[in-house]
Structure 1
C-alpha cells in the first residue's frame, strides 16, 4: 500500500531541495530581487558538475549538483539573463526536446516554486490567466478581494515569482493577447473592485512560455506579444553520446521512482538512441541515406520506450532489459498515425538492422523481435 504522503512526482524544488540549499549557502553573489539564487548559481544548478559543502544543523556534508539539462550552455545563460530582465522568455522547439523540463528547473532554482503553471489549450480562457470569482460568495456578499480566486499569474505577481505558461500557441489569439498588458505594465486590472482595481507585480515577476515548433501557425502569437518575448530555440539532441547520457540518467531516476530492480546495459541504450536518431535524421551513422519517419522520436520518447521495456522486463520478463522488450515497445513509438511510418520502419529493419545483425547478436535479436512486433 502506498503511504498517504507519497507523490508520483514531487515538484523539482522538493526533489532537489538539498542541492538548492547547498547552492544558496555557497552563493558568492547577491541574487536579483525575489530570486532564491544568483544567476551564476542558477546556471550551476541547471548544468551541474560540482560538489558543494552543505551545513545541516551541526553537520556538514557534501552535495553533488547533478546535471539537469544537457543542451548548449549558451542557451541556458541566455534564458537566465532574460528572466532577470523585463522581457519574458519563450522556449520553442520540437516536441520532447526538454522545453518544459528546462522551464521547470529554471523556476525551481530562481523562485523556489515551479508549480505556478497555466496549461495552454483551446479551452483556456482569459479568466484562467487573470482571475475568477467565488460565485457563491459573490452572490451572498458581493465583490470583494476575499471573494476573488487568483490565477497562477496573479499569485506569481504577488510573490515576485515565475509563471510557467505551457503550450502558449494552443490558446486562441484573444486569450494570448490578455498577456500583453501583464507583460507590459506588470499589472492586472480588476474593474469589479473600483476602490481596489489593480494588482501590481512585485520585483522578480516574469514569465516562461513554451511552444512546439510543429504548432507554429496554429495560433501564432500577435506582433505585440512577440515583441515582449525573447525567443530561444531548443534543438533536438543530435549528438549520440549526449543523448545516451540523458537517457541513462533519466532512466536511473525513474528506476528508483518505480522501485525497479532491472538492469539496463549501456549497449541497449546505445541501440535505442541510434535507431531513433537515424530514423529521425533520415541517415545512418555510416552515411547511408534512408527514409525518415514523420514521428518526432525525441529523447523524451526514447526514455518512455526504455521505461516501458524496463517495466516489462521487471514484471513479465527475465529481469534484464534486452532487445526483445526494447523492440516490442519501440514499434508503438515509431508507428503511430502515419501509415507510411510502418513501411519506413520495415525497410529500416530489413536493410540496416538485418545487416548489422549479421555480425552483432544484439542487433540480430532486435531485428527479429521488431520484425515480429511490426
Structure 2
C-alpha cells in the first residue's frame, strides 16, 4: 500500500473571501531556461487570480460542460485511475465538444475536494506543466477552473503507468530492454527538471507517476508536489515533508531539506523496483523484506546474492555485465549520503551506454 507521508496543504488552502480592492498577485518568471516556453509567462499565484484573469495562461481553457461531454458525463467506464488528487478519466475532445477542435484523445483529472490534495497542488501542477516542455514530461493541454470545479487536461498515454506493467495482475510484464528504456526516459525527464535555469525538484517520483505511451516511451506526470529548487548560494530548500512512503530520501524525511538529490534517491528506488520486480513497500512480504531498499540495497554489490534476488521473470533477457552496472547505479542513487549520489545527467549518460535494441514483446 502506498502511503503519503504527510500533506502540506489541505483542501481549502485559500480564503473564500477576498478584498475586492486588492489586485491579483501575479509573478513573471525571469531567466527561464530555453527549454521552457520561449515567451514570458505570467504565473497565477492563487486560483482566484486565475479565475479573475483567465487569459494569463496560454493553455486551453475548457468549460465544465465541455468536460462532461468529453468524458460522457464522467461515465465510470471512462475511469483510467484514482489517487490522492481525485479521479482520472479518458476523454475525447472533438467537434461535438468544441467546434473546430481537432479530435484529440485526452486524460482528464478532476480534483476531489475531499481528497488529499487541494487548490494549491492543482495550481502548482498547472503552473509547472503549463510552462515546461520536454519529450519525457506529459503534455498539459488545458484546464477547467469553473466555480468549485478543478480539472486538468493532458495528452492521453495509451499504455498507462509503469506501476501497472511492472506489477501486473493480468498483463505480461515488461521485458528487460523496455525496463531499461523506461529507466532512461524517466532519467531524462528528471535531468531536464534539475538542469533548467530555474531548477525544479519533482518530489514525487514513483512508478505510478511514470506514464507510457503506445510505444512505451516514458513521461513524468503529476507535478502537484513539485517545488522550485535552490538558487544561487542556496544548498537546499526547506519545506514540510511530503511525498510517498518508501520513495522519500532519508535526509529529507529527517530534516525537511530538499535538493535535486532527493529526487535521485527516489529514482534509485524505482530502478531497484525494476531490477527486483517488487514494490518499494510490500506488507505481504516477510518483515525483513517489507522495505525493499533496506532489504535489497546491501545485496546489490554482491554478485551471487544480486542474481538470486533479480526479478525471475527477466531470466535470459539480460547480460550479467549489464545487470551488475545497473545494480551499481541503483546502489549509488540510494546512498544515505546525498553527496554520494550521482546527478541525473550522470545517470542518463550511464544508462544510454547500456541500451539494447528494442524487441517487440
TM-score, with structure 2 as normaliser: 0.28
TM-score, with structure 1 as normaliser: 0.27
